[in-house]
Protein backbone atom coordinates (compact mmCIF):
# COMPACT_ATOMS: atom_id res chain seq x y z
CA UNK A 1 0.00 0.00 0.00
CA UNK A 2 1.21 3.48 -0.87
CA UNK A 3 0.43 6.83 0.70
CA UNK A 4 -0.26 10.33 -0.58
CA UNK A 5 2.95 12.35 -0.07
CA UNK A 6 2.44 15.07 2.53
CA UNK A 7 3.77 17.67 0.08
CA UNK A 8 0.70 16.96 -2.10
CA UNK A 9 -1.97 17.16 0.63
CA UNK A 10 -2.69 20.80 -0.20
CA UNK A 11 -4.07 19.72 -3.61
CA UNK A 12 -7.10 18.53 -1.66
CA UNK A 13 -7.58 21.92 0.00
CA UNK A 14 -8.07 23.88 -3.20
CA UNK A 15 -10.17 23.67 -6.32
CA UNK A 16 -8.37 20.69 -7.83
CA UNK A 17 -10.41 18.65 -10.28
CA UNK A 18 -9.65 14.97 -10.71
CA UNK A 19 -10.42 12.35 -13.31
CA UNK A 20 -11.86 9.23 -11.75
CA UNK A 21 -11.48 5.98 -13.70
CA UNK A 22 -13.64 2.95 -13.01
CA UNK A 23 -14.24 -0.25 -14.96
CA UNK A 24 -17.55 -1.09 -16.60
CA UNK A 25 -18.95 -4.62 -16.25
CA UNK A 26 -17.59 -5.26 -19.77
CA UNK A 27 -14.09 -4.23 -18.62
CA UNK A 28 -13.98 -0.87 -20.42
CA UNK A 29 -12.63 2.23 -18.65
CA UNK A 30 -15.17 4.85 -17.61
CA UNK A 31 -13.54 8.18 -16.77
CA UNK A 32 -15.34 11.18 -15.31
CA UNK A 33 -14.20 14.54 -13.93
CA UNK A 34 -14.95 14.80 -10.21
CA UNK A 35 -14.42 16.91 -7.15
CA UNK A 36 -11.89 15.20 -4.93
CA UNK A 37 -11.02 15.14 -1.25
CA UNK A 38 -8.61 13.36 1.08
CA UNK A 39 -8.83 11.87 4.56
CA UNK A 40 -5.25 12.01 5.90
CA UNK A 41 -6.11 10.05 9.07
CA UNK A 42 -7.23 7.00 7.10
CA UNK A 43 -5.10 7.80 4.03
CA UNK A 44 -8.11 7.61 1.71
CA UNK A 45 -8.90 9.61 -1.41
CA UNK A 46 -12.58 10.56 -1.34
CA UNK A 47 -15.04 11.03 -4.19
CA UNK A 48 -18.65 12.00 -3.55
CA UNK A 49 -21.34 10.88 -5.99
CA UNK A 50 -24.99 9.94 -6.08
CA UNK A 51 -26.04 6.37 -5.42
CA UNK A 52 -26.78 4.53 -8.71
CA UNK A 53 -24.64 6.77 -10.92
CA UNK A 54 -22.46 4.86 -13.36
CA UNK A 55 -19.25 5.27 -11.36
CA UNK A 56 -20.93 4.09 -8.16
CA UNK A 57 -22.44 1.06 -9.91
CA UNK A 58 -19.05 0.27 -11.48
CA UNK A 59 -17.13 0.28 -8.17
CA UNK A 60 -19.75 -1.95 -6.52
CA UNK A 61 -18.92 -4.54 -9.20
CA UNK A 62 -15.17 -3.94 -9.44
CA UNK A 63 -13.42 -1.84 -6.77
CA UNK A 64 -10.24 -1.20 -8.82
CA UNK A 65 -9.98 2.50 -9.73
CA UNK A 66 -7.65 5.27 -10.77
CA UNK A 67 -7.64 8.94 -9.85
CA UNK A 68 -5.52 11.58 -11.57
CA UNK A 69 -5.28 15.28 -10.82
CA UNK A 70 -3.23 18.26 -11.97
CA UNK A 71 -2.34 21.13 -9.66
CA UNK A 72 -4.55 24.05 -10.80
CA UNK A 73 -1.65 26.41 -10.08
CA UNK A 74 1.04 24.41 -11.89
CA UNK A 75 0.16 22.21 -14.88
CA UNK A 76 3.48 20.34 -14.53
CA UNK A 77 2.69 19.13 -11.01
CA UNK A 78 0.36 16.15 -10.76
CA UNK A 79 -0.74 13.26 -8.62
CA UNK A 80 -2.02 9.93 -9.87
CA UNK A 81 -3.40 7.12 -7.71
CA UNK A 82 -4.17 3.51 -8.51
CA UNK A 83 -6.18 1.92 -5.77
CA UNK A 84 -9.18 0.07 -4.54
CA UNK A 85 -12.49 1.26 -3.15
CA UNK A 86 -12.66 0.12 0.46
CA UNK A 87 -16.02 1.65 1.36
CA UNK A 88 -19.14 3.19 -0.11
CA UNK A 89 -20.97 5.04 2.63
CA UNK A 90 -23.95 7.35 2.88
CA UNK A 91 -22.86 8.31 6.43
CA UNK A 92 -21.80 11.96 6.34
CA UNK A 93 -22.12 12.12 2.55
CA UNK A 94 -24.60 15.03 2.53
CA UNK A 95 -22.37 17.14 4.79
CA UNK A 96 -19.34 16.13 2.72
CA UNK A 97 -20.90 17.26 -0.58
CA UNK A 98 -21.78 20.60 1.06
CA UNK A 99 -18.10 21.00 2.11
CA UNK A 100 -17.03 20.26 -1.47
CA UNK A 101 -19.62 22.71 -2.84
CA UNK A 102 -18.13 25.41 -0.62
CA UNK A 103 -14.66 24.71 -2.03
CA UNK A 104 -15.61 24.30 -5.68
CA UNK A 105 -18.67 26.55 -6.05
CA UNK A 106 -18.36 29.02 -3.18
CA UNK A 107 -21.83 28.09 -1.83
CA UNK A 108 -22.94 26.74 1.55
CA UNK A 109 -25.18 23.97 0.23
CA UNK A 110 -24.77 21.67 -2.73
CA UNK A 111 -27.44 22.51 -5.29
CA UNK A 112 -29.83 19.67 -6.00
CA UNK A 113 -30.37 18.58 -9.57
CA UNK A 114 -33.35 16.87 -11.13
CA UNK A 115 -31.16 14.07 -12.48
CA UNK A 116 -29.66 13.04 -9.12
CA UNK A 117 -30.57 9.33 -9.09
CA UNK A 118 -30.30 8.71 -5.37
CA UNK A 119 -28.76 9.71 -2.04
CA UNK A 120 -25.17 10.91 -1.87
CA UNK A 121 -22.41 8.40 -1.17
CA UNK A 122 -18.74 8.81 -0.30
CA UNK A 123 -16.39 6.55 -2.27
CA UNK A 124 -13.31 5.81 -0.13
CA UNK A 125 -10.22 4.83 -2.13
CA UNK A 126 -7.15 3.15 -0.64
CA UNK A 127 -4.04 4.22 -2.57
CA UNK A 128 -2.08 1.14 -3.64
CA UNK A 129 0.24 2.97 -6.05
CA UNK A 130 0.93 6.70 -6.06
CA UNK A 131 2.71 8.64 -8.77
CA UNK A 132 3.61 12.22 -7.96
CA UNK A 133 5.53 14.55 -10.21
CA UNK A 134 6.68 18.13 -10.00
CA UNK A 135 8.81 18.97 -13.03
CA UNK A 136 8.52 22.75 -12.77
Mean pLDDT of each 10-residue bin along the chain, 136 residues long = 93 97 97 97 96 94 98 96 98 96 94 76 98 88
* Structural domains of the chain sorted by starting position, each given as residue range(s) with its CATH number in brackets: 6-134 (2.30.110.10)
Sheet of 29-35, strand order: 29-35, 17-23, 64-70, 77-89, 120-134, 44-50, 37-39
pLDDT of residue 118: 79
Task: Please tell me the predicted confidence (pLDDT) of residue 112.
Answer: 77
CA pair distance 57, 59, nearest whole angstrom: 6
Bridge-based pairing of strands 37-39 and 44-50 is antiparallel
The pLDDT assigned to 52 comes to 87
Task: Output the pLDDT for position 115.
Answer: 66
Q: How far apart are CA 126 and CA 88, in angstroms?
A: 12
Amino acid sequence: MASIPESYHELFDKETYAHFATLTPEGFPHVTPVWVDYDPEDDRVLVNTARSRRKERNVREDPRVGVSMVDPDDAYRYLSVIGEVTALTEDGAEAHIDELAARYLGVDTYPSYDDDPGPRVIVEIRPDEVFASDVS
